[in-house]
Amino acid sequence: MGTINTSDFRKGMKVQIDGTPFLCVEMNFRKPGKGAALYECKMKNLLRNTVVDRTYRAGQTLEEADIMEFTAQFLYKQLESFVFMNNQDYEQYEMTAEQVGDQWKFLKENMDCQIMTFDNNPIGVALPNHVVLQVTFAEPAPKGNTATGVSKPVTLETGGEILAPAFINEGDWLRVDTRTGEYVERTTAPA
């Protein structure tokens, strides 16, 4: 593993602090009138999903985190864990509901995802930015309610619930943004 100098700090870098992997989610450079330049960083703990503020002086170094990312297929949910399979070597990884978080709402069997591992243990999953899912339950829209911007909760085939426009019905296919959990558009069934 290499080291990263403060002059190479940037948003998205992955470093190791006291044996724990962190992701830099925000970095600001500040040069006070006196003294060395400062690098103010918001670092997300990749094991606990907490964010901490850290400040480093010019010339300091941090250890690069030994994080691997690869494409894996979501196989199935078993009780409170989710099972993924590496598409290259077919090794299976199990992640807890806490590690998957709210992304379970958009996880469909056989879906390709990006898995992040630290010391060969899975620590996070990234879904495609958009997924197409079928509506399994939607309350009927009241007759004559054609006002724009009216939304209602709908249940997706994964069991997750999102807000969608009032004209969405049971059986419709929706494109959903997995980053925000928002409805994007009504679409046709995937091929």
Indicate whether 145 pLDDT > 70. Answer: no
**Structural domains counted in the chain:** 3
* pLDDT at residue 162 tops 90: yes
How many beta carbons lie within 10 A of that of residue 154, not counting itself? Answer: 23
| Structural domain ending residue among the three candidates 17, 36, 64 | 64
Long-range pairs of 89-93 with CB within 8 A, sequence gap ≥ 24: 93/117, 93/122
Answer yes or no: do 35 and 52 share one domain.
yes
Domain range for residue 114? 67-126
> How does DSSP classify residue 18?
T
Of 126, 148, 176, the last residue of a domain is: 126
77 and 121 fall within a common domain? yes
Residues in contact with 109: Cβ distance below 8 Å, sequence separation at least 6, in sequence order = 74, 75, 76
List, for residues 17-46, the tens digit of each pLDDT value. 998 999 899 999 888 888 888 999 999 998
Q: How many residues appear in the chain?
A: 191
Whether residue 140 sits in one domain with residue 96: no
Q: Are residues 156 and 143 in the same domain?
A: yes
On the question of pLDDT at 144 being above 70, the answer is no
DSSP, res 98? H
Which of 46, 64, 82 terminates a domain? The answer is 64
Provide the 10 A C-beta neighbour count for residue 107: 22
The pTM of this model reads 0.77
Question: pLDDT digit string (tens) for 77-121?
Answer: 998 899 999 999 999 999 998 888 889 999 999 999 999 999 888
- Residues 103, 133, 171, CA angle at the centre, nearest 5°? 140
Range 159-178 average pLDDT: 92
> How does DSSP classify residue 40?
E
Give yes or no: residues 121 and 76 share one domain: yes
CATH of the domain at 23: 2.30.30.30
Q: What CATH code is carried by the domain that includes residue 167?
A: 2.40.50.140
Residue range 55-68, pLDDT digits in tens: 999 889 999 988 89
Q: Is the pLDDT of residue 1 over 70?
A: no
Answer yes or no: do 32 and 84 share one domain: no
Position 147 confidence tier, pLDDT thresholds 50, 70, 90: low
Q: Confidence band (pLDDT; 50, 70, 90) for 146?
A: low
- Give me 132's structure tokens: 């197409």
* pLDDT tens by residue, 126-143: 999 999 999 999 988 776
One domain for residues 74 and 110: yes
